[in-house]
Amino acid sequence: MKSKGVRIAILSGKGGTGKTLVSVNIASIAGKSVYVDCDVEEPNGYLFFKPDNVREEIISVKIPVIDEDQCNGCRKCVDFCKFNALAFIKNKPYVFEEVCHSCGGCMLLCPEKAIREQEKAIGKVQVGVSGNVRVYTGIMNAGEASGIPIIKNLLEKSILDNTFPVFVDCPPGSSCIVMESIKDADYCILVAEPTVFGVYNLSMVYDLVRLFNKPHGVVLNKCLDGENPAESFCVENNVPILGRIPFENNLGSLNSNAKIATRESERYKVLFSSLLETVMKEVLHETTINP
């Protein structure tokens, strides 16, 4: 399978649709592969992979620190900061750390050189190995406002593993943090539930991947007999359906016990292998027509 270095992002409009189920299971049967958990607020892929030889790196951002004695109150920094992270009250400058985007502009601009930058830890990145899969996990400290610096670090690291296919397990939704996660993806898998609400969530990520011009397809999860509104959505909008995962007790209990279904059951191995094969065909097709 010509899947060298292909980067596939798995996303959905809300949590609990099966992003991690799909990501973990297709990564585990893709031969040598890379799994990246970008859901830094509540990463859970590592619970399934239980990686060994875990190395850890603290991720920090730079926050301005203003020397009050050197500050002459010109307020150039306050006026410049488009994130409104600075205020100047009663002849004293204030920094609102959680509003700051670490652009460093205030420090460059200060005519008195009264501003320096200080590292502030916001989370960590872990790298470990589980069978054939190299597992990257981003973990944001509770209370931090943005995990984007952690995701940037994760993706930069995982890009070095460019000889293997990379599966990026995205955060739920369609916000900045998801955009960051899919930015470098060659293909996006949208995971959808068979409900009207599921269609609403699907349409959010569908709009996002089209906005980013990313080739994409849908995995229908929790499939039952009868009407599937998510399937109808795909048919109406001409979105390729990559595969269907049945709504089953077996799969549910394997998953809730943090087991990787493809490593436990031949049936699920076949199911996810066929899904992966379809995905890779789509990816190759896309890269041929859209090199």
Partner 1 sequence: MKIAIPVDEQNLESNVCPSFGRSPHLLFYNTVTKETYYLDNTAVASQGGAGIRVSQVIADHGVRALITSRCGENAEKVLRKSEVLIYKSIPGTARQNIEAFVAEQLILLRDFHPGFHGHEK
- Which parts of this chain interact with partner 1 (CB under 8 A)? 78, 81-85, 87-90, 92, 94, 96, 98-99, 145-146, 173, 175-177
Return the exposure string of 169-193: e unless at least 16 CB atoms fall within 10 Å of the residue's CB, then b.
Answer: bbbbbbeebbebbbeebbbbbbbbb
Beta-carbon count within 10 A of 38 CB? 31
Residue 154 neighbours by CB under 8 Å, 6+ apart: 36, 37, 38, 125, 136, 138
Q: Tell the smallest beta-carbon distance from residue 32 to partner 1 (Å).
A: 34
100 or 154, CB closer to partner 1?
100
Q: How buried is 117 (Cβ within 10 angstroms: 0-12 exposed, 13-18 middle, 19+ buried)?
A: middle
Nearer to partner 1, 92 or 285 (CB): 92
Instruction: List the one residue out of 250, 267, 193 whose CA is nearest residue 19.
Output: 193
Minimum distance from residue 94 beta carbon to partner 1 (Å)? 7
For the bound state, the minimum distance from the C-beta of residue 268 to partner 1, rounded and expressed in Å, comes to 32
In angstroms, give the least distance from the CB of 175 to partner 1. 5
Q: Are 192 and 199 in contact (CB under 8 A)?
A: yes
Shortest distance in whole angstroms from residue 75 CB to partner 1: 9
Of 90 and 113, which has the nearer Cβ to partner 1? Answer: 90
Q: What is the DSSP string of 215-246?
A: -EEEEEEEE-SS--HHHHHHHHHTPPEEEEEE
Closest to partner 1 by CB, 14 vs 244, is 14
- Least CB distance from residue 107 to partner 1, whole Å? 18
Paired with 55 in beta bridges are 127
Shorter beta-carbon distance to partner 1: residue 14 or 157: 14
Hey, how many other C-beta atoms are within 10 angstroms of the C-beta on 138? Answer: 28
CB of 146 to partner 1, least distance (A): 5
* Residue 159 vs 179, nearer CB to partner 1: 179
Dig out the tokens for 146 from the structure: 């943005």
Closest approach, Cβ 142 to partner 1, in A, equals: 13
> What residue type is 56 in one-letter code?
E
CB-wise, 14 or 259, nearer to partner 1? Answer: 14
Give the nearer residue to partner 1 in terms of CB position, either 87 or 121: 87
What are the distances in angstroms from CA 97 to CA 28, 30, 119, 143, 146?
A: 40, 42, 11, 12, 11
Q: How many CB atoms lie within 10 A of CB 36?
A: 30
